[in-house]
Amino acid sequence: MARPTPELINALRRTALKLQNGATYQWGHMGGCNCGNLAQELTSLNKDDIHRYAMQRYGDWNEQIDDYCPASQMPLDLLINQMITAGLMLEDLKHLEKLDDRQILLRLPLNKRYLKHNIREDVILYMNAWADMLEEQLLQKIQLTDLEAIMAV
């Protein structure tokens, strides 16, 4: 699961808000899909640049992640490196593209747990629930660190 970082939490919330406000969403477009929209926020690249980078190899996000090499200088690998630096794990990207991370889905009401990976409203719901979960983890971590510091005095 992703490391709970302020950068990642904010990017998830900004992405969800932009999608809610009508940002371009096209699941079959590498720069306009679930991962592509989040990548726009984490890298400051636009959807067309992301798509162009992805087209230098074959496959969708899942296949691109399978072929990811951290030492590569391929543009999409550099983009994925930026996303990992922000706190994501490769598995998170695969789950985001399919909206199927069990920890996130369990946070949703029963009638909202069967998300469709290519429906804008489902992506928004998933990203907001994920941001909430990461924020709770971050706050817990901060509280524990603060408590440990107080106990050490």
pLDDT at 152 over 70: no
Higher pLDDT: 141 or 71? It is 71
Per-residue pLDDT at 59: 86
Residue 67 lies in a domain: yes
What pLDDT does residue 121 have?
97
The single-letter code of the amino acid at 81 is N
Whether 99 contacts 126, CB under 8 Å: yes
pLDDT band at 146 (very low <50, low <70, confident <90, very high): low
Q: What is the pLDDT of residue 11?
A: 98
The reply to whether 124 falls in a domain is yes
In a domain, 1, yes or no: no
Residue 97 included in any domain? yes
* The two structure tokens encoding residue 21: 């406000």
Establish how many alpha carbons lie within 13 A of residue 67's alpha carbon, considering only the half-sphere containing its beta carbon: 15
Q: What pLDDT score does 153 carry?
A: 58
Is the pLDDT at 133 greater than 80? The verdict is: yes
Residue 56 domain flag: yes
pLDDT at 131 > cutoff 80: yes
Residue-wise pLDDT for 75-118, tens only, equals 999 999 999 999 999 999 999 999 999 999 999 999 999 999 99
Domain that residue 22 falls in: 6-152
Choose between 141 and 79: higher pLDDT: 79
Q: How far apart are CA 58 and CA 60, in angstroms?
A: 7
Q: What angle do CA 94, 99, 97 make, to 5 degrees?
A: 40
Q: Tens digit of pLDDT for each residue in 20-65?
A: 999 999 998 999 999 999 999 999 899 999 999 999 988 899 999 9
The number of folded domains in the chain is: 1
